[in-house]
């Protein structure tokens, strides 16, 4: 069952629902771990270096990029991390290798990424009820589009907003407000479904007064205080039951 903490916010169906992608529609960590290991193995073998040398250079590169680009889509760019890593290793930018390593990462990532159960069924339920849906996600448009197509979700969502399009990562107001502008819901009851208590939950509530629902699974802790959700759930089947109940189906 969905654990509801703000009963007064769940007395009707939503006019629209926003969904985060990474670690909300699928578990992020298994895919990332496999992808990072594949890149590490390839770099270690290509340059005959120690694994710890890769770890040190990559960590430094990632930190430098994030410090420089802060809360923008490009701050998540695997390609920029790998380019900078090669430079830190004293090899120059090596753009062809950087591209190759990036492709290794995302190819491995996607092959190890699995949707949570009943995501598509929930989206079908929402479509039948005429409730518009949108993805609001950080990262660059190309890879997030690729994920959606890979999962076969491209015909399930009405709209998509990436932080590359918005110019800012969540919890900035821009991604949320652009999504709502695109969806043009008939009312002001907007749900935000995500895993991150700051970016998705607090951001959704503060920026568009969204009813917030946190996806809980391994590695995710329930938000507290100003990051507390209006409701939390473990399985998408639970969300389907809630939607059905609010719609008079149960």
Enzyme catalytic residues: 20, 22
Helices (H), the chain: 28-47, 51-69, 78-88, 95-111, 119-128, 141-150, 163-166, 173-183, 203-208, 236-246
Query: Residue 159 region, left (φ>0) first, then alpha (ψ -120 to 50), else beta?
Result: beta
Report phi then psi at 215, rounded to 5. Answer: -85, 120
DSSP code for 233: E
CA distance 130 to 118: 18
CA distance 16 to 32: 30
CA distance 211 to 190: 6
On whether the CB atoms of residues 115 and 151 are closer than 8 A, the answer is yes
On whether the CB atoms of residues 217 and 27 are closer than 8 A, the answer is yes
C-beta atoms surrounding 24 within 10 Å: 24
CA distance 64 to 123: 39
Sheet architecture: strand order including 159-162: 3-4, 231-233, 211-215, 190-194, 16-19, 133-137, 159-162
């Amino acid at each position: 069952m969905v654990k509801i903490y703000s009963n007064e916010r769940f007395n009707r169906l939503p006019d629209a629902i926003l969904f985060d992608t990474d670690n909300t529609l699928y578990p992020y960590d298994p895919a990332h771990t496999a992808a990072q290991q594949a890149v590490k193995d390839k770099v270690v073998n290509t340059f005959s270096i120690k694994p710890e040398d890769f770890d040190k250079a990559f960590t430094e590169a990632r930190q430098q990029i994030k410090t420089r680009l802060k809360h923008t889509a490009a701050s998540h760019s695997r390609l920029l991390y790998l380019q900078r890593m090669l430079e830190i290793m004293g090899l120059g930018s090596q753009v062809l290798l950087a591209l190759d390593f990036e492709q290794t990462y995302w190819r491995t990532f996607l092959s190890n990424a699995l949707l949570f159960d009943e995501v598509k069924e929930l989206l079908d339920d929402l479509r039948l009820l005429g409730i518009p849906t949108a993805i609001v996600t950080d990262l660059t448009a190309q890879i997030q589009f690729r994920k959606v197509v890979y999962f076969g979700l491209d015909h399930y969502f009405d709209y998509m907003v990436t932080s590359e399009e918005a110019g800012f990562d969540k919890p900035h107001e821009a991604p949320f407000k652009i999504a709502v502008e695109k969806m043009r819901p008939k009312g002001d009851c907007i749900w935000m479904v995500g895993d991150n208590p700051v970016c998705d939950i607090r951001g959704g509530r503060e920026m568009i007064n969204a009813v917030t629902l946190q996806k809980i699974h391994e590695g995710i802790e329930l938000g507290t205080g100003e990051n507390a959700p209006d409701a939390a759930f473990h399985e998408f089947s639970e969300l389907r039951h809630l939607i059905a109940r609010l719609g008079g189906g149960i």
